[in-house]
Chains A and B, each alone.
Chain A
Amino acid sequence: MAYKISPDLQMRMRSAAATQPLRIIVRHRELPAFMSSAAHALRAGEIAIRRQYRLVSATAMEVSVSHIETLIQDDTVEYIWPDLPVHTCLDVSVPRIRAPQIWNLGLRGEGIRIAILDTGIDSQHPDFAGRIAAMTSFVGGDGSDDNGHGTHVAGIAAGSGAASNGRFRGVAPAASLYIAKVLDASGDGLMSNVMAGIEWAVNQDVHVINLSLGGDTPGDGTDALSTLCDQVVRQLGIVICVAAGNNGPDNSTIGAPGVARRVITVGAADDTDHVAQFSSRGPTLDGRIKPDIVFPGTGIVSARASNARVGRPTQPYYAELSGTSMATPHATGAVALLLQANPNLKPEDVKRALLGGALDLNEMPTAQGSGRGDLLAAYQRAMRPLPTQPEEVATENWWGQLRRMLSNIW
Protein backbone atom coordinates (compact mmCIF):
# COMPACT_ATOMS: atom_id res chain seq x y z
CA MET A 1 0.00 0.00 0.00
CA ALA A 2 3.06 2.27 0.17
CA TYR A 3 2.39 3.23 -3.43
CA LYS A 4 -0.55 5.29 -2.14
CA ILE A 5 1.72 7.67 -0.22
CA SER A 6 4.11 10.21 -1.67
CA PRO A 7 7.75 9.59 -0.73
CA ASP A 8 8.07 12.89 1.14
CA LEU A 9 5.02 12.04 3.25
CA GLN A 10 6.54 8.64 4.05
CA MET A 11 9.68 10.40 5.28
CA ARG A 12 7.65 12.77 7.44
CA MET A 13 5.67 9.88 8.92
CA ARG A 14 8.85 8.01 9.84
CA SER A 15 10.16 10.95 11.84
CA ALA A 16 6.85 11.76 13.58
CA ALA A 17 5.16 10.27 16.63
CA ALA A 18 2.03 8.18 15.98
CA THR A 19 -0.22 10.76 17.59
CA GLN A 20 1.31 13.77 15.87
CA PRO A 21 -1.17 15.57 13.61
CA LEU A 22 -0.10 16.09 10.02
CA ARG A 23 -1.72 18.11 7.26
CA ILE A 24 -2.32 16.01 4.18
CA ILE A 25 -4.15 16.13 0.85
CA VAL A 26 -6.05 12.98 -0.06
CA ARG A 27 -7.06 12.20 -3.62
CA HIS A 28 -10.04 9.87 -3.50
CA ARG A 29 -12.88 8.39 -5.54
CA GLU A 30 -16.05 10.45 -5.85
CA LEU A 31 -16.66 12.53 -2.76
CA PRO A 32 -19.81 10.80 -1.43
CA ALA A 33 -18.06 7.43 -1.46
CA PHE A 34 -15.06 8.80 0.42
CA MET A 35 -17.21 10.67 2.93
CA SER A 36 -19.26 7.59 3.57
CA SER A 37 -16.15 5.53 4.13
CA ALA A 38 -14.63 8.18 6.40
CA ALA A 39 -17.83 8.92 8.30
CA HIS A 40 -16.84 7.06 11.44
CA ALA A 41 -13.43 8.76 11.67
CA LEU A 42 -15.06 12.14 11.09
CA ARG A 43 -17.56 11.60 13.89
CA ALA A 44 -14.79 10.42 16.18
CA GLY A 45 -12.79 13.58 15.43
CA GLU A 46 -9.90 11.60 13.95
CA ILE A 47 -10.12 13.62 10.73
CA ALA A 48 -10.37 17.40 10.64
CA ILE A 49 -11.33 18.45 7.11
CA ARG A 50 -9.82 21.76 6.05
CA ARG A 51 -10.94 22.03 2.42
CA GLN A 52 -12.66 19.97 -0.26
CA TYR A 53 -11.92 20.54 -3.94
CA ARG A 54 -14.33 20.41 -6.87
CA LEU A 55 -12.09 20.22 -9.91
CA VAL A 56 -10.24 17.21 -8.54
CA SER A 57 -11.68 14.63 -6.13
CA ALA A 58 -9.48 15.57 -3.23
CA THR A 59 -9.73 16.72 0.35
CA ALA A 60 -7.24 18.60 2.51
CA MET A 61 -7.33 17.47 6.11
CA GLU A 62 -5.44 17.15 9.37
CA VAL A 63 -5.05 13.65 10.80
CA SER A 64 -2.73 11.81 13.14
CA VAL A 65 0.13 9.78 11.70
CA SER A 66 -1.54 6.60 12.88
CA HIS A 67 -4.77 7.46 11.08
CA ILE A 68 -2.90 7.90 7.81
CA GLU A 69 -2.28 4.15 8.04
CA THR A 70 -6.05 3.67 8.27
CA LEU A 71 -6.62 5.90 5.24
CA ILE A 72 -4.15 3.83 3.22
CA GLN A 73 -6.38 0.79 3.78
CA ASP A 74 -9.45 2.70 2.61
CA ASP A 75 -10.47 1.55 -0.89
CA THR A 76 -11.84 4.99 -1.74
CA VAL A 77 -8.45 6.63 -1.12
CA GLU A 78 -6.19 6.80 -4.18
CA TYR A 79 -3.16 8.85 -3.10
CA ILE A 80 -1.95 10.96 -0.18
CA TRP A 81 0.45 13.90 -0.21
CA PRO A 82 1.70 16.14 2.58
CA ASP A 83 0.01 19.56 2.53
CA LEU A 84 3.17 21.63 2.33
CA PRO A 85 3.46 25.35 3.04
CA VAL A 86 3.80 27.52 -0.04
CA HIS A 87 5.35 30.94 -0.37
CA THR A 88 5.55 33.68 -2.95
CA CYS A 89 9.21 34.35 -3.55
CA LEU A 90 10.29 37.61 -5.07
CA ASP A 91 10.85 35.55 -8.21
CA VAL A 92 7.07 35.10 -8.29
CA SER A 93 5.68 38.36 -6.89
CA VAL A 94 7.97 40.65 -8.89
CA PRO A 95 7.05 39.05 -12.25
CA ARG A 96 3.39 39.12 -11.19
CA ILE A 97 3.46 42.92 -11.11
CA ARG A 98 5.35 42.82 -14.45
CA ALA A 99 8.53 44.47 -13.25
CA PRO A 100 10.88 42.37 -15.46
CA GLN A 101 9.23 43.88 -18.55
CA ILE A 102 10.38 47.27 -17.28
CA TRP A 103 13.89 45.94 -16.53
CA ASN A 104 14.03 44.82 -20.16
CA LEU A 105 13.69 48.47 -21.12
CA GLY A 106 16.92 49.17 -19.25
CA LEU A 107 15.23 50.55 -16.14
CA ARG A 108 16.33 49.12 -12.78
CA GLY A 109 16.15 52.17 -10.55
CA GLU A 110 19.59 53.63 -11.29
CA GLY A 111 19.86 57.15 -9.88
CA ILE A 112 16.66 56.86 -7.84
CA ARG A 113 16.99 57.38 -4.09
CA ILE A 114 14.68 55.27 -1.92
CA ALA A 115 14.32 55.92 1.82
CA ILE A 116 13.28 52.97 3.98
CA LEU A 117 12.09 54.06 7.44
CA ASP A 118 11.87 50.86 9.42
CA THR A 119 13.91 48.67 11.81
CA GLY A 120 17.18 49.41 10.00
CA ILE A 121 19.09 47.19 7.59
CA ASP A 122 21.68 44.43 7.61
CA SER A 123 24.29 46.44 5.73
CA GLN A 124 26.45 43.32 5.22
CA HIS A 125 23.75 41.52 3.24
CA PRO A 126 25.14 40.87 -0.27
CA ASP A 127 21.90 42.06 -1.90
CA PHE A 128 22.61 45.66 -0.86
CA ALA A 129 26.36 45.77 -1.53
CA GLY A 130 27.52 49.24 -2.55
CA ARG A 131 24.04 50.74 -2.64
CA ILE A 132 23.39 51.90 0.95
CA ALA A 133 24.05 55.59 0.56
CA ALA A 134 23.27 56.64 4.13
CA MET A 135 22.13 55.12 7.41
CA THR A 136 20.91 56.67 10.64
CA SER A 137 18.83 55.83 13.68
CA PHE A 138 16.22 57.69 15.71
CA VAL A 139 15.89 54.95 18.32
CA GLY A 140 19.51 54.48 19.31
CA GLY A 141 22.30 52.59 17.60
CA ASP A 142 23.50 53.15 14.07
CA GLY A 143 20.69 51.89 11.86
CA SER A 144 21.69 48.22 12.00
CA ASP A 145 18.69 45.94 11.84
CA ASP A 146 18.14 44.07 15.13
CA ASN A 147 14.68 42.86 14.10
CA GLY A 148 14.80 41.79 10.44
CA HIS A 149 11.70 43.60 9.22
CA GLY A 150 13.55 46.52 7.62
CA THR A 151 16.03 44.31 5.79
CA HIS A 152 13.17 42.24 4.37
CA VAL A 153 11.33 45.37 3.25
CA ALA A 154 14.47 46.85 1.67
CA GLY A 155 15.06 43.59 -0.21
CA ILE A 156 11.60 43.74 -1.79
CA ALA A 157 12.04 47.35 -2.88
CA ALA A 158 15.63 47.20 -4.07
CA GLY A 159 17.47 43.95 -3.28
CA SER A 160 19.83 42.88 -6.06
CA GLY A 161 19.38 39.16 -5.46
CA ALA A 162 23.18 38.76 -5.38
CA ALA A 163 23.02 36.07 -2.70
CA SER A 164 20.59 34.01 -4.78
CA ASN A 165 22.14 34.42 -8.22
CA GLY A 166 19.49 36.99 -9.02
CA ARG A 167 16.53 34.82 -8.09
CA PHE A 168 15.27 36.96 -5.21
CA ARG A 169 15.68 40.31 -6.88
CA GLY A 170 13.64 43.29 -5.69
CA VAL A 171 11.56 45.57 -7.88
CA ALA A 172 14.18 48.32 -8.35
CA PRO A 173 17.45 46.40 -7.88
CA ALA A 174 19.78 49.26 -8.81
CA ALA A 175 18.22 52.05 -6.71
CA SER A 176 20.17 53.71 -3.89
CA LEU A 177 19.01 53.11 -0.33
CA TYR A 178 18.70 55.64 2.49
CA ILE A 179 18.00 53.84 5.73
CA ALA A 180 16.47 55.42 8.84
CA LYS A 181 15.87 53.20 11.83
CA VAL A 182 12.66 54.46 13.45
CA LEU A 183 11.45 51.17 14.98
CA ASP A 184 13.22 49.32 17.78
CA ALA A 185 14.25 45.67 17.99
CA SER A 186 10.64 44.71 18.70
CA GLY A 187 9.39 46.58 15.64
CA ASP A 188 7.80 49.32 17.76
CA GLY A 189 8.24 53.08 17.71
CA LEU A 190 6.54 56.43 18.08
CA MET A 191 5.03 58.74 15.51
CA SER A 192 7.55 61.41 16.45
CA ASN A 193 10.44 59.11 15.50
CA VAL A 194 8.86 58.51 12.11
CA MET A 195 8.39 62.26 11.63
CA ALA A 196 12.06 62.82 12.46
CA GLY A 197 12.95 60.08 9.96
CA ILE A 198 10.89 61.75 7.26
CA GLU A 199 12.66 65.08 7.85
CA TRP A 200 16.00 63.26 7.58
CA ALA A 201 14.94 61.57 4.34
CA VAL A 202 13.84 64.93 2.91
CA ASN A 203 17.27 66.35 3.73
CA GLN A 204 18.84 63.42 1.87
CA ASP A 205 16.87 64.52 -1.21
CA VAL A 206 15.24 61.14 -1.73
CA HIS A 207 12.65 60.52 -4.45
CA VAL A 208 10.43 58.04 -2.61
CA ILE A 209 9.88 57.08 1.03
CA ASN A 210 8.69 53.65 2.17
CA LEU A 211 6.72 53.43 5.42
CA SER A 212 5.87 49.80 6.17
CA LEU A 213 4.53 50.85 9.54
CA GLY A 214 1.61 52.58 11.18
CA GLY A 215 -0.68 53.02 14.12
CA ASP A 216 -3.62 50.84 15.10
CA THR A 217 -6.14 53.60 15.73
CA PRO A 218 -8.40 54.35 12.74
CA GLY A 219 -7.89 57.93 11.62
CA ASP A 220 -9.08 60.80 9.45
CA GLY A 221 -5.67 62.03 8.32
CA THR A 222 -5.48 65.14 10.53
CA ASP A 223 -2.84 63.77 12.93
CA ALA A 224 0.65 65.26 12.84
CA LEU A 225 2.32 62.33 11.06
CA SER A 226 -0.30 62.14 8.29
CA THR A 227 -0.26 65.93 7.92
CA LEU A 228 3.53 65.91 7.56
CA CYS A 229 3.33 63.15 4.94
CA ASP A 230 0.77 65.13 2.90
CA GLN A 231 2.92 68.23 3.15
CA VAL A 232 6.05 66.40 1.96
CA VAL A 233 4.20 64.95 -1.02
CA ARG A 234 2.48 68.20 -2.01
CA GLN A 235 5.15 70.78 -1.31
CA LEU A 236 8.36 68.81 -1.89
CA GLY A 237 7.23 66.40 -4.61
CA ILE A 238 8.40 63.26 -2.79
CA VAL A 239 6.31 60.11 -3.22
CA ILE A 240 5.42 58.26 0.00
CA CYS A 241 4.15 54.67 0.04
CA VAL A 242 2.50 53.55 3.29
CA ALA A 243 1.28 50.16 4.52
CA ALA A 244 -2.49 50.00 5.09
CA GLY A 245 -2.06 47.76 8.13
CA ASN A 246 -2.88 44.20 9.10
CA ASN A 247 -6.16 44.69 10.95
CA GLY A 248 -8.57 43.41 8.29
CA PRO A 249 -11.04 42.25 7.27
CA ASP A 250 -13.12 44.72 9.31
CA ASN A 251 -13.88 48.08 7.74
CA SER A 252 -12.25 51.36 8.80
CA THR A 253 -9.16 49.70 10.22
CA ILE A 254 -6.49 51.88 8.63
CA GLY A 255 -4.46 54.05 11.00
CA ALA A 256 -1.97 56.87 10.53
CA PRO A 257 -0.12 57.53 8.30
CA GLY A 258 -2.03 55.22 5.92
CA VAL A 259 -4.99 57.59 6.18
CA ALA A 260 -3.00 60.55 4.82
CA ARG A 261 -4.63 61.92 1.67
CA ARG A 262 -1.69 62.20 -0.71
CA VAL A 263 0.34 59.12 0.14
CA ILE A 264 -0.07 55.85 -1.75
CA THR A 265 -1.68 53.53 0.79
CA VAL A 266 -0.95 49.90 0.00
CA GLY A 267 -2.94 46.81 0.97
CA ALA A 268 -1.89 43.21 0.47
CA ALA A 269 -3.01 40.70 -2.14
CA ASP A 270 -2.43 36.97 -1.75
CA ASP A 271 -0.90 34.56 -4.25
CA THR A 272 -4.30 33.95 -5.88
CA ASP A 273 -4.83 37.68 -6.49
CA HIS A 274 -7.43 38.18 -3.79
CA VAL A 275 -7.15 40.83 -1.11
CA ALA A 276 -5.53 39.18 1.91
CA GLN A 277 -7.86 38.62 4.83
CA PHE A 278 -5.53 40.50 7.18
CA SER A 279 -5.18 43.56 4.94
CA SER A 280 -6.75 46.62 6.62
CA ARG A 281 -9.81 48.12 4.98
CA GLY A 282 -11.15 51.61 4.50
CA PRO A 283 -12.92 53.90 4.40
CA THR A 284 -11.06 56.43 6.54
CA LEU A 285 -12.98 57.94 9.43
CA ASP A 286 -13.82 60.94 7.23
CA GLY A 287 -15.21 58.69 4.50
CA ARG A 288 -12.40 58.49 1.94
CA ILE A 289 -11.50 55.34 0.03
CA LYS A 290 -8.33 53.66 1.26
CA PRO A 291 -6.24 51.67 0.54
CA ASP A 292 -5.35 53.13 -2.83
CA ILE A 293 -3.99 49.90 -4.31
CA VAL A 294 -2.86 46.41 -3.34
CA PHE A 295 0.38 44.57 -4.11
CA PRO A 296 1.53 41.01 -3.31
CA GLY A 297 1.99 40.65 0.44
CA THR A 298 1.55 37.04 1.57
CA GLY A 299 4.40 34.62 2.10
CA ILE A 300 6.98 36.86 0.46
CA VAL A 301 10.56 35.58 0.49
CA SER A 302 13.10 38.42 0.64
CA ALA A 303 16.38 39.40 2.28
CA ARG A 304 16.99 38.11 5.80
CA ALA A 305 19.07 40.03 8.34
CA SER A 306 21.78 37.91 9.98
CA ASN A 307 20.23 38.41 13.42
CA ALA A 308 16.60 38.52 12.35
CA ARG A 309 13.90 37.94 14.96
CA VAL A 310 11.07 37.78 12.47
CA GLY A 311 10.35 35.71 9.40
CA ARG A 312 10.68 32.05 8.54
CA PRO A 313 14.17 31.38 7.19
CA THR A 314 14.09 29.71 3.78
CA GLN A 315 17.75 30.01 2.81
CA PRO A 316 20.74 31.44 4.69
CA TYR A 317 20.17 34.94 3.31
CA TYR A 318 16.40 34.88 2.87
CA ALA A 319 13.22 34.58 4.91
CA GLU A 320 9.48 34.57 4.42
CA LEU A 321 7.14 37.20 5.85
CA SER A 322 3.55 38.30 5.22
CA GLY A 323 1.88 41.66 5.71
CA THR A 324 1.03 44.94 4.09
CA SER A 325 4.61 45.80 5.04
CA MET A 326 5.69 43.40 2.29
CA ALA A 327 3.18 44.77 -0.22
CA THR A 328 4.30 48.37 0.30
CA PRO A 329 7.91 48.04 -0.95
CA HIS A 330 6.58 46.43 -4.15
CA ALA A 331 4.83 49.77 -4.68
CA THR A 332 7.91 51.74 -3.66
CA GLY A 333 10.09 49.85 -6.12
CA ALA A 334 7.48 50.40 -8.81
CA VAL A 335 7.50 54.14 -8.09
CA ALA A 336 11.30 54.15 -8.41
CA LEU A 337 11.15 52.59 -11.87
CA LEU A 338 8.40 54.98 -13.01
CA LEU A 339 10.40 57.98 -11.83
CA GLN A 340 13.48 56.72 -13.63
CA ALA A 341 11.40 56.25 -16.78
CA ASN A 342 9.91 59.71 -16.59
CA PRO A 343 11.65 62.11 -14.18
CA ASN A 344 9.05 64.79 -14.89
CA LEU A 345 6.34 62.89 -13.07
CA LYS A 346 4.91 64.59 -10.01
CA PRO A 347 3.66 62.48 -7.09
CA GLU A 348 0.07 62.83 -8.27
CA ASP A 349 1.11 61.63 -11.75
CA VAL A 350 2.84 58.60 -10.27
CA LYS A 351 -0.19 57.81 -8.14
CA ARG A 352 -2.55 58.25 -11.07
CA ALA A 353 -0.45 55.95 -13.27
CA LEU A 354 -0.25 53.24 -10.64
CA LEU A 355 -3.93 53.39 -9.73
CA GLY A 356 -5.06 53.71 -13.34
CA GLY A 357 -2.99 50.71 -14.41
CA ALA A 358 -4.09 48.47 -11.54
CA LEU A 359 -5.79 45.17 -12.28
CA ASP A 360 -9.35 45.17 -10.95
CA LEU A 361 -9.73 42.20 -8.59
CA ASN A 362 -13.50 42.73 -8.41
CA GLU A 363 -13.41 43.31 -4.68
CA MET A 364 -14.75 46.23 -2.67
CA PRO A 365 -12.90 49.52 -3.29
CA THR A 366 -12.38 49.74 0.46
CA ALA A 367 -10.44 46.45 0.28
CA GLN A 368 -8.58 46.61 -3.05
CA GLY A 369 -8.51 50.34 -3.78
CA SER A 370 -8.10 50.49 -7.55
CA GLY A 371 -6.88 46.88 -7.71
CA ARG A 372 -3.59 44.99 -7.78
CA GLY A 373 -0.62 46.95 -9.03
CA ASP A 374 0.64 46.25 -12.57
CA LEU A 375 3.91 48.00 -13.28
CA LEU A 376 3.84 47.57 -17.05
CA ALA A 377 0.35 49.10 -17.30
CA ALA A 378 1.42 51.91 -14.96
CA TYR A 379 4.53 52.50 -17.08
CA GLN A 380 2.43 52.83 -20.24
CA ARG A 381 0.31 55.46 -18.49
CA ALA A 382 3.34 57.22 -17.05
CA MET A 383 4.89 57.65 -20.49
CA ARG A 384 1.80 59.23 -22.08
CA PRO A 385 1.62 63.00 -22.40
CA LEU A 386 0.03 64.13 -19.17
CA PRO A 387 -3.40 65.71 -19.44
CA THR A 388 -4.30 68.56 -17.14
CA GLN A 389 -5.79 66.94 -14.07
CA PRO A 390 -7.23 68.12 -10.80
CA GLU A 391 -4.42 68.46 -8.32
CA GLU A 392 -5.53 65.73 -6.00
CA VAL A 393 -6.11 62.11 -6.91
CA ALA A 394 -7.43 60.36 -3.88
CA THR A 395 -9.60 62.79 -2.00
CA GLU A 396 -12.78 61.75 -3.73
CA ASN A 397 -15.10 60.44 -1.09
CA TRP A 398 -16.57 56.98 -0.84
CA TRP A 399 -19.87 57.85 -2.51
CA GLY A 400 -18.20 59.70 -5.34
CA GLN A 401 -15.99 56.71 -6.16
CA LEU A 402 -18.89 54.29 -5.82
CA ARG A 403 -20.99 56.40 -8.20
CA ARG A 404 -18.13 56.49 -10.69
CA MET A 405 -17.67 52.73 -10.44
CA LEU A 406 -21.35 52.08 -10.97
CA SER A 407 -21.50 54.44 -13.92
CA ASN A 408 -18.61 52.49 -15.48
CA ILE A 409 -20.54 49.23 -14.99
CA TRP A 410 -23.81 50.64 -16.39
Chain B
Amino acid sequence: MEKMAPALHRKLGASPDSIVTLIVRTNGDPARYLLRLAELGFAVGHQFRLLPGVSVRGRARAALSLLDEAWVLQVEEDQPVTAM
Protein backbone atom coordinates (compact mmCIF):
# COMPACT_ATOMS: atom_id res chain seq x y z
CA MET B 1 0.00 0.00 0.00
CA GLU B 2 1.36 3.43 -0.89
CA LYS B 3 2.19 5.70 2.03
CA MET B 4 0.17 8.66 0.77
CA ALA B 5 -2.68 9.02 -1.71
CA PRO B 6 -1.54 10.81 -4.90
CA ALA B 7 -4.22 13.47 -4.48
CA LEU B 8 -2.93 14.38 -1.01
CA HIS B 9 0.66 14.34 -2.29
CA ARG B 10 -0.26 16.85 -5.00
CA LYS B 11 -2.19 19.01 -2.55
CA LEU B 12 0.70 19.19 -0.09
CA GLY B 13 3.21 19.85 -2.85
CA ALA B 14 1.12 22.69 -4.24
CA SER B 15 1.26 24.68 -0.98
CA PRO B 16 4.19 23.42 1.10
CA ASP B 17 3.87 26.15 3.75
CA SER B 18 0.24 25.49 4.52
CA ILE B 19 -0.73 24.00 7.88
CA VAL B 20 -2.31 20.56 7.68
CA THR B 21 -3.75 18.05 10.14
CA LEU B 22 -2.86 14.44 9.50
CA ILE B 23 -3.23 10.92 10.80
CA VAL B 24 0.10 9.10 10.63
CA ARG B 25 0.11 5.32 11.02
CA THR B 26 3.33 4.13 12.61
CA ASN B 27 5.22 0.88 12.74
CA GLY B 28 4.59 0.02 16.39
CA ASP B 29 4.13 2.19 19.46
CA PRO B 30 3.84 5.83 18.33
CA ALA B 31 5.48 7.04 21.57
CA ARG B 32 8.84 5.97 20.10
CA TYR B 33 8.53 8.57 17.36
CA LEU B 34 7.31 11.62 19.26
CA LEU B 35 10.78 13.17 19.41
CA ARG B 36 11.29 12.80 15.67
CA LEU B 37 7.85 14.27 14.99
CA ALA B 38 8.75 17.26 17.16
CA GLU B 39 12.03 17.67 15.24
CA LEU B 40 10.00 17.83 12.05
CA GLY B 41 7.90 20.60 13.57
CA PHE B 42 4.72 18.66 14.25
CA ALA B 43 2.40 19.21 17.18
CA VAL B 44 1.07 15.84 18.25
CA GLY B 45 -2.60 15.49 19.15
CA HIS B 46 -3.85 11.99 19.93
CA GLN B 47 -1.71 8.86 20.14
CA PHE B 48 -3.42 5.66 19.06
CA ARG B 49 -2.55 2.24 20.42
CA LEU B 50 -5.07 -0.13 18.76
CA LEU B 51 -4.12 1.05 15.29
CA PRO B 52 -0.68 2.46 16.09
CA GLY B 53 -0.42 6.06 15.00
CA VAL B 54 -0.77 9.71 15.88
CA SER B 55 -2.73 12.73 14.83
CA VAL B 56 -0.45 15.68 14.08
CA ARG B 57 -0.57 19.28 12.92
CA GLY B 58 2.24 20.85 10.95
CA ARG B 59 3.55 22.21 7.62
CA ALA B 60 2.72 20.46 4.36
CA ARG B 61 6.47 20.40 3.58
CA ALA B 62 7.13 18.42 6.74
CA ALA B 63 4.26 16.09 5.92
CA LEU B 64 5.95 15.23 2.64
CA SER B 65 9.22 14.54 4.45
CA LEU B 66 7.43 11.91 6.56
CA LEU B 67 7.39 9.71 3.48
CA ASP B 68 11.17 9.26 3.88
CA GLU B 69 10.82 7.97 7.45
CA ALA B 70 11.00 4.17 7.58
CA TRP B 71 8.68 3.94 10.61
CA VAL B 72 5.87 5.79 8.81
CA LEU B 73 3.42 3.33 7.30
CA GLN B 74 0.77 5.69 6.00
CA VAL B 75 -0.11 9.37 6.00
CA GLU B 76 -3.63 10.65 5.43
CA GLU B 77 -5.58 13.80 6.07
CA ASP B 78 -7.41 14.03 9.38
CA GLN B 79 -10.74 14.58 7.69
CA PRO B 80 -13.78 16.30 9.09
CA VAL B 81 -16.74 14.28 10.33
CA THR B 82 -20.16 15.62 11.15
CA ALA B 83 -23.29 14.55 12.95
CA MET B 84 -25.61 12.81 10.48
Interface residues of A (CB under 8 A from B): 118-119, 138, 147, 149, 183, 187-196, 198-199, 202, 212-217, 222-225, 227-228, 231-232, 243-246, 256, 310, 323-325, 328
Given the complex, which residues of B lie within 8 Å of A256, measured CB to CB?
Answer: 79, 81
Inter-chain contact B82/A323, CB cutoff 8 Å: no
B82 to A: closest C-beta gap in Å: 5
Inter-chain contact B23/A213, CB cutoff 8 Å: no
Q: A192 with B84: in contact, given A199-B49, A232-B50 (CB under 8 Å)?
A: no
Given the complex, which residues of B lie within 8 Å of A214, measured CB to CB?
Answer: 81-82, 84
A256 to B: closest C-beta gap in Å: 7
Inter-chain contact B81/A190, CB cutoff 8 Å: yes
Given the complex, which residues of A lie within 8 Å of B83, measured CB to CB?
Answer: 118-119, 147, 149, 183, 187-188, 212-213, 310, 323, 325
Interface core residue of B51, B74, B80 (most chain A CB under 10 Å): B51
Inter-chain contact B80/A212, CB cutoff 8 Å: no
B33 to A: closest C-beta gap in Å: 16
Interface residues of B (CB under 8 A from A): 1, 21, 23, 25, 45-46, 48-51, 53, 55, 74, 76, 78-84
Enumerate the 3 nearest inter-chain pairs by beta-carbon distance, A residue then B residue, closest first.
A192-B55, A187-B83, A243-B84
For the complex with contacts A147-B83, A183-B81, A188-B82, 4 further pairs of A-B residues with Cβ separation under 8 Å are A190-B78, A199-B48, A199-B49, A216-B82
Given the complex, which residues of A lie within 8 Å of B46, measured CB to CB?
Answer: 138, 192-193, 195-196
Inter-chain contact A213/B74, CB cutoff 8 Å: no
Given the complex, which residues of A lie within 8 Å of B76, measured CB to CB?
Answer: 223-224
Closest to A222 in B: B1
Q: Which of B1, B45, B50, B74 contacts A192 (CB 8 A)?
A: B45
Q: A191 with B51: in contact, given A222-B1, A223-B76, A224-B76 (CB under 8 Å)?
A: no
Inter-chain contact B81/A227, CB cutoff 8 Å: no
Q: A190 with B80: in contact, given A224-B25, A231-B50, A232-B50 (CB under 8 Å)?
A: yes
Inter-chain contact B25/A213, CB cutoff 8 Å: no
Q: Which of A191, A310, A328 contacts B81 (CB 8 A)?
A: A191
Inter-chain contact A199/B84, CB cutoff 8 Å: no
Inter-chain contact B51/A224, CB cutoff 8 Å: yes
A338 to B: closest C-beta gap in Å: 23
A140 to B: closest C-beta gap in Å: 13
